[in-house]
Structure 1
Amino acid sequence: MTQINTIGLDFAKQVFRVHGADAEGAPLFTRRLRRAEVLPFVEKRPTCLVGLEACGEAHYWAREIAALGHEVRLIPPAYVSPL
């Protein structure tokens, strides 16, 4: 089984999109999660890099996810590509 190396989180008002990739960048999963499901979902994953688009609420989520042991990086919106 391939290990998750990177998780990307895309924020929305009610439903977030979560993408997981392995070390080579191959996609492993894409899920839609409600706000209340995000932290329990990330908590169950092995420690990895989590990328978030820098916005007002990203700092809150970055602190919460980093407290779970993950490495969090905020990405400037200009470098985030739409799906």
Structure 2
Amino acid sequence: MNYKLISIDLAKTVFQVAAFNPDNTIAFNRKINRPALLDTLRQCEPTLVVMEACYSANYWGRAIEKLGHTVKLIPARMVKAMLVGNKNDANDAVAIGETAGRPKVSLLRPKTVEQQDIQSLLRIR
């Protein structure tokens, strides 16, 4: 499966995954449980995967990068502005994907374990 972009709304047990075709139409927007996420992404051609920057985004970003995808994180405040309709997982996943296509949005790379260790030490200090 060849997609332009895959956006993921992270949660505790069930993730919402939306895939966008090259013409920016939504190929699918479905719930995927935690164990099946990497298997689902393994079946896709390497593409851009975007997620909201949150607590577990760095961990999942590193795991998804090992599959060959390019992972970018988006600050949550930027996604909020693109949300259309009620706040739910399906709408959040679409908003994440639409935000990634905006020209002035700064996309971040996931932190390495070493960078997270240094960040923890600085915050403790």
Shared fold by TM > 0.5?
yes
Query: What are the Cα deviations for residues 23-63 of structure 1, in whole angstroms up to 9, with x where unaligned?
Result: 22110001111100100100110111000100110000000
Equivalents in 1 of 2:76, 2:59: separation in Å?
A: 17
* Structure whose residues are more often helix by fraction: 2
Partner in structure 2 of residue 23 of structure 1? 22
Partner in structure 1 of residue 36 of structure 2? 37
Equivalents in 2 of 1:39, 1:52: separation in Å?
A: 14
TM-fit CA distance, 1:3: 3.4
Partner in structure 2 of residue 71 of structure 1? 70
Say how many residue pairs are matched.
82
4+ aligned runs moved over 4 Å, structure 1: none
Structure 1 counterpart of 2:15, one-letter code: F
Is residue 2:42 matched to residue 1:48? no
Percent identical among aligned pairs is 35
TM-fit CA distance, 1:13: 1.5
* Structure whose residues are more often strand by fraction: 1
Structure 1 counterpart of 2:70, one-letter code: E
TM-fit CA distance, 1:8: 0.3
Structure 1 counterpart of 2:30, one-letter code: R
Is residue 2:61 matched to residue 1:62? yes
Structure 2: tracts of 5 or more residues without a match? 92-125
TM-score normalised by structure 1 residue count = 0.92
Equivalents in 1 of 2:23, 2:2: separation in Å?
A: 11
Larger radius of gyration: 2
Instruction: Give the root-mean-square deviation of aligned CA atoms.
Output: 1.3
